[in-house]
Amino acid sequence: MISMRKAYPKTIGPERYLYIFIGLLFLSLLNSCNSRVSECSDHTDEKMDNEYDVAAYVWPSCHHDDRLGDLVWPEGNGEWEIIKKAVPHFEGHYQPKVPLWGYEPDDDPKVMERWIDAATDHGVNVFVFDWYWLQDGPFLENSLNNGFLKARNNERMKFYVMWANHDMPLKLINVYKYEDYKTNRWDGAVDRENFEMIVDRVISKYFKRPNYYKIDGKPVFSLFMIDEFIEGLGGLEEAAAAVDYFRDETKKAGFPGLHLQQIVFDTPNAELIHQIETLGANSVTIYNWGGPHPEDYVQWGVEAMERRKEWYRALSVPFFPNASIGWDDSPRFPNKRKEDIVHLNKSLVAFSSFLQKAKDYCDEHSEQPKLITIFAWNEWIEGSYLLPDIKYGFSHLEAVKKVMSNEYDKY
């Protein structure tokens, strides 16, 4: 064996001490930085993942629907067909919207994998999928079934369904093909037979998934239109009996019960409160800020905060706060006027401030779960989306991350 000792001098010169000192200092600083990054990351993850649930609504329209796609969007790419035809209605009106990642199909698991990573990396940990039952069968279901549930990383994200049981005039989903609201429409109301099919489908396909969103172990099922639900079942008492059936079937499936979440839109009134109580709703929230849609975004938000106070006072169950990004459904309605579109004072600062108010509301009402809903993840057709686009990039997602990780300066 050849000794390597002779390859090094017996003494170390002053310049070598300097090099050693600089190297040790660099390693010390690097370890310190890594430690701080680790501490901050752990703290942020804990805040975003464990303390608050941030649920963004998913409008699953941008794929070819198996059952009704040829009828409503014959070009074969879902509602992208309508979104891409939008035109500006006034100077500075941003239409059509241009997604950063292109007009991609929302039933593609690879697309959904990117969505899940983008959402969870920025503090959004729940997707609420709009879900339909039309003409005795499901509609727009494949974004959830083929996209989300087949995404390889879907365990990172929780989800639940909101039954969008509103009436569906064909003109609402393709104004270029259908002209009359009074004909060719599907009713949101369903009878008991259809409701039992819905219950069976939801429990078997979704509730049993390990990442289905639950409160106190109970799967959350959101109901969009209370009047249509009551009408379809034949009255309030019959509707309450149908909910009892749903609860019993959920228990038979091995859960402690059902968490029925009711969507509302305006201010509380005695009849609506009676309906909510009779159905035994476990919580109430909103899809967007509701009410009239003024031109001014800040005005819309302030009015929504006032309605939220009224709901909190009126209810005996939790009311979950919402943060809405905007409102512009002019792609669906080419005759919309400027005053029908929320566009004044619409900024990232304003959105961040209202999201902070939602977070503060959760902290002030610690007796209830800390759930915030956001309108919306991808409502391109209604001008409200967290997904990155060409104009805003990742700005709205970054705003969510800052607020939910306590980086936003609320003072």
- pLDDT tens-digit readout, 148-190: 999 999 999 999 999 999 999 988 999 999 987 666 688 999 9
What's the pLDDT tens digit per position in 195-216? 999 999 999 999 999 999 999 9
Per-residue pLDDT tens digits for 76-122: 999 999 999 999 999 999 999 999 999 999 999 999 999 999 999 99
pLDDT band at 50; cut points 50, 70, 90: low
Domain layout of the chain by residue ranges: 54-404
pTM of the full structure: 0.88
**pLDDT bucket at 35, cuts 50 / 70 / 90:** very low
pLDDT tens digits along 293-318:
999 999 999 999 999 999 999 999 99
User: What pLDDT digit, counting tens, does each position of 244-303 carry?
Assistant: 999 999 999 999 999 999 999 999 999 999 999 999 999 999 999 998 999 999 999 999
Determine the average pLDDT of the residues in 7-33. Answer: 42
Q: 54-404 maps to which CATH number?
A: 3.20.20.80
Structure-model confidence comparison of residues 4 and 69, the more confident one: 69
Residue 40: band (very low, low, confident or very high) from pLDDT cuts 50, 70, 90 = very low
pLDDT score of 19 more than 90: no
Average pLDDT of the residues in 377-383: 98
Span 329-353, pLDDT tens digits = 999 999 999 999 999 999 999 999 9
Q: Rounded distance, CA 360 to CA 365, Å?
A: 9
pLDDT computed for residue 184 by the predictor: 62
Q: Residue 46: pLDDT above 90? A: no
